[in-house]
Amino acid sequence: MAKKVLLFYAVLAPFIMTGSFYNLIDGVILHKNPTYRVGFFSLFGFVIMPLLLIVTYIKNKCEISRDGVKIGKIDYPFSDYDFGIREKELAFKDRPLTSLLKKEYHELVIQAKNTHEIVVEKDLDIFQKDIGNIRNALPR
């Protein structure tokens, strides 16, 4: 659901992890750096960044099977819910950092069949090929 964000974090993670590990060893253990450069994020970025990557992956994992869609740990069976992908336009100030120049964005909409209540509206911050794959996998 947030593939571009995950890739963005994955590109930044090695630099932040290396810098924070360097700050921990050089600043705290060897006492070569002044203490004002040593903070929680600069010390433990090598722990926080991998954790952030893992949590982002787990919370945004979407599996489409024959029976339904599973987002995170919640199942949405095809027999109880209608699925669709809605396009919307965002103003420049509302666009995510990972795709600032794109005008049209997509949302996954899950609606209960019996009450017609919208249960989930999830932004699809993924590539166009993935949106096509999701459209092909969802029932019509």
8-state DSSP, 8: H
Per-residue pLDDT, 75: 93
For the chain, the average pLDDT equals 83
Q: In which band, very low, low, confident or very high, does the pLDDT at 108 lie, cut at 50, 70 and 90?
A: very high
pLDDT, mean of residues 92-107: 77
Q: For 21-76, how does the pLDDT look when each residue is reduced to its tens digit (9 = 90+)? A: 887 787 777 777 665 555 666 667 788 888 888 988 888 888 899 999 998 889 99
Of 38 and 80, the structure prediction assigns the larger pLDDT to 80
For the record, the structure tokens of 46 come out as 């090598």
Instruction: Spell out the domain ranges in the chain.
Output: 3-59, 63-137
Q: Residue 88: in which H helix or E strand, if any?
A: strand 81-89
* Beta-ladder partners of 74: 71
Residue 1 has pLDDT above 90, yes or no: no
Q: What is the pTM of this model?
A: 0.70
